[in-house]
Amino acid sequence: MTHPEDLLADYVDGALDERQRAVVDAHLEGCASCSEEITLARQAVAALASLEDEPVPFGVTGPVLAEAGRRFERRRVVVWERLQWAAGAAAAAALVLVVALNLGGGAEPEQDVAREEATAVEAEAGAVAPGADGESSPTFVFQGLEQQQGVDYDDAGIVALAQDVVPIVTGQTAQAEDQGTFAPADEALSCIEQSGAPTVGDPRDTLLRLIEAEYVGTPAYIAVYAEGPGAGQPADRVVVWAVAAEDCRILTTASLRI
Amino acid sequence: MPDPGARDEDLIRRYLSGDRAAFAALVERHERRVYNIALRMTGREEDARDATQDAFLTVLRKLSSFRGEAAFTTWLHRVAVNACYDLLRKRQRSPLLERGGDDDRPAAEPPPVPDHADPTALSIDVRRALLQVPEDFRAVMILHDLRDLPQEEVAAILGIPVGTVKSRLHRGRIALARALDVPRQGERRGPATPSEGTMTP
């Protein structure tokens, strides 16, 4: 017996024309299995009708709107810069933040990629800031993943992380040479980028610190960036992103104007 | 403030032209739809929140390259369903209804005995039973039976032929009914594990 499989869903939906419905009706008269399936399918449709939409919990799209605002601000700054350049304004003195990734030993392919990206950051910063040679520029060396076992950051702790690096970004103090031991950062970097945070290749953002700790009890990667408007202009804020280590969702972000 | 009656495509254009509130209006308009798809696909509020965030972040990243070849809602549904698939893959376990103590419960737990006299209990039964339906079938049912989308649009969202939508819809419904284990004339239903394209003779 040939079963009219392709018609059964529409039969249950009442979406068949008269001729097709007659074909199925005739088949059902002599086919117990299809009759049973139609009964089951109707029960399922009725059961699904009992499911109502649930309200969206508070704050679900908050991080998305925050990210949208951040992108919007960036775009606005870029547009303003272009207007300034078009008007022949003199280029602002550039503060070159040189990033040299030191991801630890080994030459695994992923680390090579990260190195190339870091080199691209450095090259681009240099390209847009001719004449910066010889000026006193703060140098920051990103050394890898800082594993802070048992440390649980709250919002105040996140802000403190941002405040800590301000003197280094502004060149007031030099980066401490001995900052402890570091682990390879590939997985954490990938997670941070997946979350929607600035990418390593973005010339406007310089990754300063990457920390593995907890944020309010959730295992997290915390990235601290110096962020500038681009075009070789100096960083004007420090931004911190905390993302869940398990699934890379955004836990919180903080932004501190310098 | 954006016009509440503005078309999605107009809101997108306005956001890309610098109207920041237009994106917020777009999110507000669609978040309930995306969240409820994610809730039914994943079965957990926590996962639904994550999938909703992931979906809208993807929309945000790709909005400038949205060409309008498909309707925005079709594209949004595709992004939402893909976010759910990604999340379920990441979890690599059967989705559960709620977080908390349920998290450690075995995934293959049999469905609870339904109390069909209580509408709330029936609703919870259906939510649990839906999670026992294979993901591909579940996605079709959620889009068609719950979101009332036409089969042609479901096909466009999932990138499958309309015939496959019909087949998955029918198989999924049967799987759901069997998972609900609705007693009928003394019969017992088998497990909710259909295979696509096969029919019981």
* Residue B19: predicted pLDDT: 83
Mean pLDDT of B150-175: 96
Of B27, B87, B199, the CB nearest to A64: B27
Minimum distance, in Å, between the CA of residue A209 and any CA atom of chain B? 24
Share of chain B above pLDDT 70, in %: 71
Q: Using the predicted structure, report yes or no on whether residue B183 has a pLDDT greater than 60.
A: no
> How many angstroms away from the CA of B57 is the closest CA of chain A?
6
Chain A residues with CB-CB distance to B171 below 8 A: none
What is the rounded CA–CA span in Å between residue B94 and residue A246? 17
From A40, A47, A53, residue closest to B174, measured CB to CB: A40
Q: What is the pTM of this model?
A: 0.56
Q: Give yes or no for residue B30 having a pLDDT over 90.
A: yes
Q: What is the dihedral of CA A26, A31, A37, A42, to 10 degrees?
A: 30
What residue of A is the nearest CA neighbor of B170?
Answer: A9
Structure tokens at B51: 């999938």
pLDDT for position A199: 61
* Substitution target from B64, B90, B127, B170 for chain A, most A beta carbons within 10 A: B170
Nearest CA-CA distance, residue A179 and chain B, Å: 34
pLDDT of A202 reads 64
Which CATH topology does B114-201 take? Answer: Arc Repressor Mutant, subunit A (1.10.10)
pLDDT for position A180:
65
In this chain, the answer to whether the domains covering B1-98 and B114-201 adopt an identical fold is: no
Residue B199 pLDDT: 37
The residues pairing with B183 across neighbouring beta strands, listed in sequence order, are: none
Q: State residue B90's pLDDT score.
A: 83
- The topology (CATH level 3) of B1-98 is Rna Polymerase Sigma Factor; Chain: A (1.10.1740)
Per-residue pLDDT of chain A (258 residues; tens, 9 = 90+): 688 888 999 999 999 999 999 999 999 999 999 999 999 999 999 999 999 999 998 888 888 888 887 777 665 555 555 555 555 544 433 333 333 333 333 333 333 333 333 333 333 333 223 333 334 445 666 778 888 888 999 888 888 888 888 888 887 777 666 556 788 888 888 888 777 666 666 666 788 889 999 988 889 999 988 877 666 677 878 888 888 888 887 777 777 777
Written as one string, the DSSP assignment of A55-76 is PPPTTTTHHHHHHHHHHHHHHH
Q: B67 vs B111, which has greater pLDDT?
A: B67
CB A208, CB A170: distance < 8 Å: no
- Non-local (6+) Cβ contacts of A108 within 8 A are A186
Measured between CB atoms, which of A9, A51, A65 is closest to B127? A51
Instruction: Collect all residues of chain B within an 8 Å Cβ-Cβ radius of residue A76.
Output: 18
Determine the residue type at A27.
H
Establish if A174 touches chain B: CB-CB under 8 angstroms: no
Q: With CB atoms and an 8 Å threshold, state whether B129 touches A47.
A: yes
Please tell me the distance in Å from A40's CA to the nearest CA on chain B: 5
Of A8, A44, A60, the CB nearest to B49: A60
Indicate the Cα dihedral angle A82, A88, A94, A99, nearest 10°: 40
Interface subset of A 208-247, CB within 8 angstroms of B? 247
pLDDT value at position B147?
A: 96
Please state the domain extents for chain B.
1-98, 114-201
The complex's ipTM?
A: 0.78
Does any CB of chain B come closer than 8 Å to the CB of residue A56? yes
Looking at residue B74, what is its pLDDT?
93
Tell me which chain A residues have a C-beta less than 8 angstroms from the C-beta of B87.
247
What Cα–Cα distance (Å) separates residue A211 from each residue in A140, A193, A219?
Answer: 16, 14, 11
Within 8 A of A8 by CB-CB distance, chain B residues are 166, 170
Q: Which residues of A touch B50 (CB under 8 A)?
A: 247, 249
